[in-house]
Amino acid sequence: MLTANELEHVLRVLHANSSKGLSLQQLADTTEISVTHLQEFIKRHREYFVIMPDSDCYQINRFGQLKGDIAAMVQHYQQRSLKGKTKPSNWLWLALIFTTSMTLFTALHNQ
C-alpha cells in the first residue's frame, strides 16, 4: 500500500515521462519504491494506470473516470483508503452490540 504522497510522486514521474511511459524498473528507480510494491499497487489500482501496447511501460490512465487528473486521483485514493479503514470499525460495533445483547438475553433468561 502506498501513501497518498507516494502515489502523487509516482503519478508526477509518469506524467513527466508521458510520451514513452516507464517500465516498472524505471519507475522503481526514479521513485525509490520497490518493483514488487509498485507491481502489487498497480494490480490493485488499475484505474490510475495503463500499460502501453506492445511494451511493458506504464502511463497515467487519461481515459478513465478521473481523466488523468493527478489531484483527483490522489483525492480518490485517499477517500478509498478512509472508507477501507472505517469498515472494520463498523463490524466491531456490530459484534459488540450482538455480544452484549446475547449476554443480557442469557442473563435474563437464566433468572
DSSP 45: -
Please give the backbone phi and psi of residue 59, each rounded to the nearest 5 degrees, phi first: -135, 170
Q: What is the 3-state secondary structure (H, E, C) of 50-95?
A: EECCCCCEEEECCCCCCCCCHHHHHHHHHHHHHHHHHHHHHHHHHH
State the Cα–Cα distance between residues 35 and 47, nearest whole angstrom: 19
CB 49 within 8 A of CB 59: yes
The reply to whether CATH 3.40.30.10 applies to domain 4-85 is: no
Per-residue pLDDT tens, the chain, 111 aa: give them. Answer: 899 999 999 999 999 999 899 999 999 999 999 999 999 999 999 999 999 988 899 999 999 899 999 999 999 999 988 776 655 567 788 888 889 988 988 888 887
pTM above 0.85, yes or no: no
Cell digits of residue 34? 520497490
